[in-house]
Structure 1
Amino acid sequence: MAVALPKNFSEVRQHLEQPLIRNSFFIMASSFVAAGFGFFFWMIAARFYSQADVGVATALMSSMGLLILISRLGLDQSVIRFFPSRDKNRVLGTAVLVPTAIALGAGVFFIAAVDVLAPELAVVRTIAPLYLAILGAYSIVWVFEGALNALRKSEYYFALNLLYGTRILFLVPLVSLGAMGIFGAFGLSFILGLILALILLARCSVRPTPCVDRPFLREAWQFSAGAYIAGILMSAPNMVIPIMVLHVLGAESTANYYITYAIVSILFMIPYAFTTSLFVEGSHGGEMKRSVLRTLASMFALLIPAIIILSLFGEPILGLIGKDYVEGMALLRVLAVSALFVSVCQTFISIAKVRNDIRSLVVLSGFVSIALLGLGYALMNRFGLIGMGYAWFATYAAGTLLVGLILKKKGWL
């Protein structure tokens, strides 16, 4: 079927002002802004802080991200799902109160048990109040970001990501604090983001009510339980790997891994954007097979030249951050090629969500999580940091084969 194209500027403007198009643009722009600020943040941190400081700070930030991931219970997604039909203030208040309480409880446990869980991060005991304050702000802002998108105000989400860039301004003044200076700069941006998010929500006439809406929780859990488990399984390795690298190879290797992954993650934004659009299209009843083929073709058309460019110019990019980080070039190339297989697995996740096939979603997510962490630990002990790159490639290549088997068994091919 032919697609009618806008014939004049007025029609183009109307097309761009459609909520789906406008919000997609701002979400994608937010991802690139976050990546850009992240690159400059770590480039400046590498210039003013030692590699050991960078390694400890990244592990602290990863530990916090893992606590947030575990505690959110899928309620950030349920906010988007239930905002149109329920009391927004009560939904948002519940979605903030419950996960944040769990996150803070988990944070207290982590601090108390750090000698067993991650002895390399025992320093967290000396900054326990700061760690918990940043953890709380991070947890609340995470939910608020979803609420702004649910309100079709993704331009406000974009504004928040611009504000997070202020963390760069705090790096130099806090340099005397070492690793805690990097961590403090990271946390201050979320505290400022929390203030801005409350102001932006108020402009939308949304003021979260501190409460526990039990009917909402029951309905939300039925909706999000399977996707929540799958989300944890897919995301947990990104939080655990820096801590694992710190334990196996030390702080310098952790810094190398984190910086290299931060650069390669720009490639991962491509499948994220396209598979999110695929999920939206499928949820609106679009023809899935044609949409999947278009999604894959579009992703590969962008990914392949991007991988080639990053492989050719990755060394000077790493050199901009610091000469010590050029050692991560081999890891960068392997992670970059892995993006092709990551895109296939992400595409399947969107298909499974549209089909409401939570079992297949959990099977693939569980396989990726276990294989990536298990192979990563084993191959790092044998090959060093590049072993983690081999684990990424092997895990997602095998995941792509698993996707093919599931699709064939389900008759979706």
Structure 2
Amino acid sequence: MVAGRLQSVRREMSNPLYRNAYALMLNTIVNSGFGLLYWIFAARTYSPEDVGRGSALVNLMMLISVLTTLNFGQALVRFLPTAGNDSARLVRLAYAISTGLGALVAAVVMTYLHLARSPGDPLWVSPGFAAWFVVSTAAWSIFNLQDQIYTGLRSAMWVALKNGVYGVVKLVLLVIVALTSVEDGVFTSWSAPVLALLVPFSLLITRRLLPRHIAESAAEPGSGAPEKNTLRRYMAGDYAGQVFNQATSSFLPVLVIGLLGPQQSAYLLPAQTVFIAMNMLSIAITSSLVVEGSRDPARAHLLARSIARRIAVIVLPAALVIGLAAPLLLLLYGRDYAENASLLLQLLMVSMLPRVVVTLWMTRSRLANRTAPLAVQQLVHAIVVLTGTTLLSPIVGLDAVGWSWLAAELLLAVVLAPVVVRWLRGTHPVQPRTQPVDPDATEVIGRVPDQSTDRIPRVRD
């Protein structure tokens, strides 16, 4: 029986769809675990003032990075699997745009904090720290893009390994810096390992994984980077959707403070954190589906069925267990958290069921290169959640967030379910939307035909 189980596991892991999905799920668990440990260690080794300043600066760096990468990571997951000989150019373009914009915006923000704040202000920065922040933001953008590059190259296990090593080094450096006189130890311990790990993991991509991927995919029919207009439309819609999603998650605690006070906002934090981690598990699984579906659009619906089954046996049971154990889990934070946020966490876990339909629809939209509807979907979700929370909070208090989130997911699932069902049945296959192209003037990244000069510029080594 054991031998049969091992053979079944080997067969499962030999399939790139499942292997990468499990690797990305493992990465989500690793990131969540090390993130929790990091802030526990920080709270025990630094003063509350240092932790508060460090947390603010870390989150500021990540926010700038998220907004300035223009969601290029999702574009890499979608197009890198079939980029062929243009794969390296697509990666370099992502690096150039993300780091350039990230460094520029970080420099503007640091200049403002240095000039507009007084030296005694918690957010005032010295010129030396400002320069370090700019470099760290550019490095963080590349570090995060590498996760999507590994995913697009069907080597997602490196994502979990990279972030696992980063988590360990970050924890060790946090303790070491605490024993020294280094200022801004929290931010330093968070950002310095990124710069140290960037070189070996970048070399892994450029020297090993990219050449192997190019050799394997260059000869496949239709391989090559996307057309300029296709890439622009894809990134524009996906980026708008990401902004709406980021606005919802970031603004929700602020809204709760305004409606119910800071104490209720504190009770929201653990429930929201657990829900985000669970949602990331579903996103991790469907990211693998985007990669494999891009390589074989005709079988995308069959791959989607397999992924849906694995969500049903992994993510949904986990959500059920967390929902049932919510009062016990929240006791780890204190009795007040358990009394005030248990129903909220349970409602968020129930919303994971309709969320499966929404996630599959989002995956199909990405495979079809139709990201404008993604922006509309995220906007509707944000409106329902924020409006519902505002209207229901005087009646049910903090649980208004849970009821509003569940209502938003149910509404979207009902509207989108027919498309998802037809796709899974194979009656509504994915048809990637592309710009009509003159065969004598093919327009892709890095290629410059003689007949046209309107191209995305080549990014050289």
* Counterpart secondary structure, 1:73: coil
Query: Which residues in structure 2 correspond to 1:168-247 (within 5 Å)?
Result: 168-173=171-176, 181-204=185-208, 220-242=231-253
Distance 2:46 2:330 in 1: 16
Is the 2:323–2:346 contact (alpha carbons within 8 Å) kept by the matching residues of 1? yes
Alignment pair present for 1:337 and 2:339: no
Q: Name the CA shift for 1:110/1:256 in 2 (closer, same or farther; >3 Å).
A: farther
Question: 1:285-296 to 2 correspondence within 5 Å?
Answer: 285=297, 295-296=307-308
The aligned counterpart of 1:136 is: 138
2:70 partner SS: coil
Deviates more, 1:72-81 or 1:198-207: 198-207
Aligned to 1:402: 415
Farther-moved stretch of structure 1 (151-160 vs 18-27): 18-27
Mark the CA change 1:324 to 1:367 in structure 2 (over 3 Å): closer, same or farther: same
Runs of at least 5 residues in structure 2 that lack an aligned partner in the other structure:
115-120, 212-224, 430-461
CA–CA distance in 2 between the matches of 1:407 and 1:14? Answer: 28
Matches within 5 A, 1:295-310: 295-296=307-308, 298-310=310-322
Who is 1:98 aligned against?
97
Aligned to 2:13: 16
- Letter aligned with residue 272 of structure 1: I
Residue in structure 1 matching 2:283, options 272, 275, 285: 272
Q: In the alignment, what sits opposite 1:118? A: none
Q: Give the direction of change, closer, same or farther, for the CA distance of 1:324–1:45 in structure 2 (3 Å limit).
A: farther
Q: Is the alpha carbon distance of 1:134 and 1:388 closer, same or farther for their aligned partners in structure 2, counting shifts above 3 Å?
A: farther
Q: Deviations over 1:220-270 (max 9, x none)?
A: 325533333334333443344456567777776665544432333332244
Say how many residue pairs are matched: 398
Cα separation, partners in 2 of 1:25 and 1:303, compared to 1, 3 Å = closer
TM-superposed deviation, 1:32: 1.9
CA contact (8 A) 1:345 1:399 kept: yes
Residue pair 1:27, 1:158 contacting (<8 A) in 2 also:
yes
Matched, 1:392 2:391: no
Task: Classify 1:163/1:328 alpha carbon distance in 2 versus 1 (closer, same or farther; 3 Å).
Answer: farther
Question: Counterpart in 1 of 2:364?
Answer: 351
For 2:272, the equivalent position in structure 1 comes to 261
The question of whether the paired residues in 2 share the 8 Å contact of 1:241 and 1:373 is answered with yes
Could you state the TM-score of these two structures normalised by the residue count of structure 1? 0.74
CA distance in 2, matches of 1:183, 1:144: 21
Alignment of 1:82-121 (within 5 A): 82=80, 84-111=83-110
Is 1:51–1:251's contact at 8 Å kept on the other side of the alignment?
no
Amino acid at match of 1:204: R
Greater C-alpha radius of gyration: 2
Offset, 1:319: 4.3
Secondary structure of the residue aligned to 1:124 is coil
C-alpha change, 1:313 and 1:78, in structure 2 (3 Å) is closer
Q: Read off the aligned partner of 2:357 and give its amino acid letter.
A: V
Q: 1:323 to 1:200 in 2, by over 3 A?
A: farther
Q: 1:322 to 1:53 in 2, by over 3 A?
A: farther
Greater share of residues in helix: 1
Contact kept in structure 1, 2:357 and 2:420, CA below 8 Å: no
CA, structure 1 residues 391+181, in 2 after alignment: closer, same or farther (shift >3 Å)?
Answer: farther
8 A contact 2:21–2:287 mirrored in 1 = no
Is the 2:154–2:291 contact (alpha carbons within 8 Å) kept by the matching residues of 1? no
Distance 2:56 2:400 in 1: 19
Which sits farther off after the overlay, 182-191 or 95-104? 182-191
AA of the residue aligned to 2:122: V
Q: Distance in 1 between matches of 2:366 and 2:283?
A: 14
Q: Once the 2 structures are TM-superposed, how far is the Cα of residue 27 of structure 1 from its aligned partner? A: 2.1
What is residue 443 of structure 2 aligned with on the other side? none
Q: Which moved more, 1:93-102 or 1:192-201?
A: 192-201
Secondary structure, counterpart of 1:165 in structure 2: helix
Bigger drift between 297-306 and 30-39 goes to 297-306
- 1:195 to 1:102, Cα distance in 2 relative to 1, 3 A: same
Which of 33, 37, 45 in structure 1 is aligned with 2:34? 37
Instruction: Please tell me whether the aligned partners of residues 338 and 396 of structure 1 are also in contact (alpha carbons under 8 angstroms).
Output: yes
In structure 2, relative to structure 1, the CA distance for the partners of 1:98 and 1:248 (3 Å cut) is farther
Structure 1 gaps, min length 5:
1-5, 116-121, 208-213
Q: 2:347 touches 2:406 (CA, 8 Å); kept in 1?
A: yes
* Counterpart residue identity of residue 36, structure 2: F
Structure 1 residue 103, shift from structure 2 partner: 2.0
Which deviates more from structure 2 when the two are superposed, residues 303-312 or residues 283-292? 283-292
Q: CA deviation at 1:162?
A: 0.7
Residue type of the alignment partner of 2:171: I
- Contact 2:257-2:264 at 8 Å conserved across structures: yes
The alpha-carbon distance between structure 1 residues 123 and 406, as it changes in their structure 2 partners (threshold 3 A), is farther
* Residue 365 (1) aligns with residue 378 (2): yes
- Work out the percentage of aligned pairs sharing the same amino acid: 23
Match of 1:119 in 2: none
* Distance in 2, Cα, partners of 1:371 & 1:277: 29
Greater displacement, 295-304 / 240-249: 240-249
- 1:28-78 C-alpha deviation (Å, 9 max, x unpaired): 221222122223334444555677876665555444333222211243334
Relative distance call for 1:355 and 1:88 in structure 2 (3 A) is closer
Deviation string 1:147-187 (CA, Å, 9 cap, x unpaired) is 2333333232222111221333344455699x955444433
Distance in 2 (CA, whole Å) between partners of 1:62 and 1:350 is 28
> What do the CA deviations read for 1:116-154 (whole angstroms, capped 9, x no partner)?
xxxxxx733336444433322211111222223333332
